[in-house]
Amino acid sequence: MAEITISITDGEERRFPVGVTVAEVLAELLSGKARKRTVAARVNDVLVDLGVRLNGDSRLEPVSMGSDEALVILRHSAAHVMAQAVLEIFGPEVKVAIGPAIADGFYYDFERGTPFTPDDFERIEAKVGEIVAAALPFERKEVSVAEAMRTFEELGQGYKVELLQEMEHETVSLYRQGNFVDLCRGPHVPNTGWVKAFKLVKLAGAYWRGDEKNIMLQRIYGTAFYDPKDLKAYLHNLEEAKKRDHRKLGKELELFSIQDQVGPGLILWQPKGAQMRRLIEDYWKEEHYRKGYELLYTPHIARRELWQTSGHLDFYGENMFSPMEIDEVSYQLKPMNCPFHINIYKTKMRSYREFPIRWAELGTVYRYERTGVLHGLMRVRGFTQDDAHIFCRPDQLEGEIFNILDLNLHILKTFGFADYDIYLSTRPEKYVGSDQHWEQATEALKLALEKKGLAYELDPGEGVFYGPKIDIKIKDVLGRSWQCSTIQVDFNLPERFEITYVGEDGKDHQPIMIHRALMGSLERFFGVLIEHYAGAFPLWLAPIQAVIVNITDNQHDYAVKVHEELRAAGLRVEKDLRNEKLNYKIREAQLQKIPYMVIIGDKEVEAGQVTVRLRDGKNLPAMTPAELVATIRAECEAGRGW
Ligand SMILES: [Zn+2]
Ligand SMILES: [Zn+2]
C-alpha cells in the first residue's frame, strides 16, 4: 500500500498509508490525554477536522483545547447546533442566514415571522441539550456549488442559495449533523457531544448582510466553552457588565443622554457628565503643558478643497458628513484635525531649531457611522479626540515616541488603567513613502518601546498606508479590552501639503509627522470609565464629591453653613436638607455613588464638627469642616498624582 510522510510539530517524521485520517495519525503520535484535548488539526497550515483523510505528504499540528483557535472551532460548532435546535422547534418556516463565531461566543441570524422571546431561549437550550446528548457527528461533504444550491433550494433556505450564487469556487463544503445541513468551511469539533458548556446570551436585530436596505433578521447570541467552569465565570462577568453598562448608569447618574430629536450618535453631556469632562480636560491639558505641548483650537468645518488636498475625500469620503454650500463654496465637517494643524505649521517658515513642535487639541470631529453600529458613548457620530501632532526631525523620532509613551501610560494610570496590550503594526502591502523611511520609523518605534521596557505584539502588515503605528488596548476591571491610544507616524500628509523645514544644512527638508491620541475619544473613554468604576468614580473625578445630610430640621442652619464653607473651598458638594429619614437620604446618596456623606445631627452642631460616612459604608472619625476639606484635597491630589 502506498505511503505518505507526515511530519509533526517537533519535526519528527512518520510514514502512514495513503488516506489515513488525522485522528488515526494523532492516535499513534499523541498520548491518550493529549489526544482527548485535541479538537482539530492544522495540516500544511490549513485548519481541518480530525476526520479528514490525508493523501499526500503533510505537516501536521494538533489544535488543542485551551488555544484560541480551539475555542473558535467549538463556538462555530455550537452555532450549527443552535440553528439545528431552532429549526427542530420552530419548523422549516424559519430561514437561517449566517452563524459565525465572534469574540466572546457566536451568533446565528434567523428570519421568522414572530419574534423570539426569553421563554424561547429555555426551549432552545433544552433542545440543544438533547442534540448534545445525542453526540451527532459533524459530517463534511464536498459538493459542487450547483449541488449545494439544489440542496438548499429543496430545504427552502434562500439565504444559503443567495450566498452560493456569489461563490467563485467550483466546490463548497457542507456540514451535516443529524438532519441539519449548513454551508460551512469548517472545521468543527468531531461531534455535537463536545458542545456541553453552552448558553444563549441575548437577542438583537440585525440586517441581512449588515445593510439597512435589507430585511431585519433576528440574531441570537450564544457562547460555549470546553470547561463548564469557564462558562460560569463568563456568565458572572456578563452579569457584572450589565450592571456596569454605561448607558444604564449614564441615565441613573444623569451623566449624558442621546435624544432622537437631536440625532443618533450625538451626545448631550448633562451637568454631572460635563463636570467630569471638565475635570478630565483640565487634567489632560495640565499634563500636556508639563510635557512641552502647546494647545490649539481649530474650526469644525473647512472648505472642500482642504479635504481634497489631505486626501480625506478620496480615502475617507464615505465616513464624512455631506458638503454644505456657503457663499457658493463647498464646506465639510471635519473627520480629523490634522489638516488644520498642518495649516498652522504653514503659517511661517520652520527651522530645525524649533523642533520638536508638539501641538495638542481636544478636537471635535464628525464621522458617519451606520445607525446599526452606533452604541451609547462607545460608537458615536460626533466626538472629541484628545489629538496631537508632533513635527520633528528623523533623529528625534525615537525620543518623541518614548515621550509620548511615557505621557500616555502616565495618563492611563491616573485614570486607573495599568493593564494593557500593546501592538506594533508594520508596513502593509499598499503604502506611501520610501522603504528606507518605513524601516527607520519602524525601528524607532521598536526602540522606544524597548527602552520604555514595554512588551508588545507585532502586527505585521497591519500599519496604515501612511506609516507604522503603535496601538494600546486598555483592560478594564472585568478584563475587557478597549482600543484606546494610538501613535502613528505619517509620511503622507507632509508630502501632500508640501510642508518643509530648514535644516542645519540650510536646505529644505520634509519633517516627520506623528499623530497620536491617548484616550482616543473623550466620549468613548468616558464610557469605559463609567463601566470600569461602575459609576463609583475616584474622588478627584467624581462630579459630586460630598453631600451634606441633616438628621432633623434642627440642624438646618448649621448644615447650610457647612455647605457654604465646603463650596467656598472649591469642593463639589451638594446638600440634602429635605424632611426625610436619614436612612432614606443616605440610600439615595449611595445610589448616586457620592463618595462622602457628611452627616450632621445635634451632636455635630454642638461640637462644630461633621461625621463622615464613605460610600462603601465605612465611617471616618468626627472632624471639623476644615479638616474635611483637607482630607478631600489630599485624596484628590493623590488620585490625580499632583
Ligand atoms: Zn461551521
Ligand atoms: Zn492626525
Ligand nearest to the CA of 188: 1
Q: What is the pLDDT of residues 54-69, one digit of tens each?
A: 999 999 999 999 899 9
Residue 545 to residue 635: CA distance in whole angstroms:
11
Question: In terms of DSSP bridges, do strands 58-64 and 3-8 run parallel, antiparallel, or are they unpaired?
Answer: parallel
- Give percent above pLDDT 90 in the chain: 89
Q: What is the pLDDT of residues 560-605, one digit of tens each?
A: 999 999 999 999 999 999 999 999 999 999 999 999 999 999 999 9
* Distance from the alpha carbon of residue 77 to the mean position of ligand 1, in angstroms: 6
Q: If pLDDT is split at 50, 70 and 90, which confidence band does 463 have?
A: confident
Ligand nearest to the CA of 72: 1
Q: What is the pLDDT of residues 273-314, one digit of tens each?
A: 999 999 999 999 999 999 999 999 999 999 999 999 999 998
Over 80: is that where the pLDDT of 150 sits?
Answer: yes
**Could you tell me if 302 and 339 are in contact, meaning their C-beta atoms sit under 8 angstroms apart?**
yes
Q: Which is nearest to 425 in space by CA: 471, 462, 477?
A: 462
Over 90: is that where the pLDDT of 112 sits?
Answer: yes
Q: What per-residue confidence (pLDDT) applies to 528?
A: 97
- Give percent above pLDDT 70 in the chain: 99
Q: What per-residue confidence (pLDDT) applies to 331?
A: 97
* Distance from the alpha carbon of residue 614 to the mean position of ligand 1, in angstroms: 52
Q: Which is nearest to 529 in space by CA: 596, 477, 593, 590?
A: 477
* Distance from the alpha carbon of residue 107 to the mean position of ligand 1, in angstroms: 12
What is the number of other CB atoms lying within 10 angstroms of the CB of residue 287?
Answer: 19
Q: What is the pLDDT of residues 185-201, one digit of tens each?
A: 999 999 999 999 999 99
Question: pTM for this one?
Answer: 0.81
* Distance from the alpha carbon of residue 336 to the mean position of ligand 2, in angstroms: 6
* Distance from the alpha carbon of residue 39 to the mean position of ligand 1, in angstroms: 14
* Distance from the alpha carbon of residue 20 to the mean position of ligand 1, in angstroms: 23
Q: What is the pLDDT of residues 377-427, one digit of tens each?
A: 999 999 999 999 999 999 999 999 999 999 999 999 999 999 999 999 999
Q: Tell me which residues are annotated as active site.
A: 338, 367, 385, 387, 389, 469, 515
Ligand nearest to the CA of 386: 2
Residue 574 to residue 597: CA distance in whole angstroms:
10
- Edge-to-edge strand ranges of the sheet holding 58-64: 13-17, 3-8, 58-64, 38-43, 46-48
Residue 638 to residue 88: CA distance in whole angstroms:
60
Ligand nearest to the CA of 334: 2
Q: What is the pLDDT of residues 495-544, one digit of tens each?
A: 999 999 999 999 999 999 999 999 999 999 999 999 999 999 999 999 99
472-475, long-range: CB within 8 Å, 24+ apart, which pairs?
472/408, 472/412, 472/420, 472/421, 472/422, 472/423, 473/420, 473/421, 473/422, 473/423, 474/412, 474/417, 474/419, 474/420, 474/528, 475/417, 475/419, 475/420, 475/421
Q: Which is nearest to 491 in space by CA: 511, 472, 461?
A: 511
Q: Which is nearest to 416 in space by CA: 593, 273, 236, 283?
A: 283
Over 90: is that where the pLDDT of 366 sits?
Answer: yes
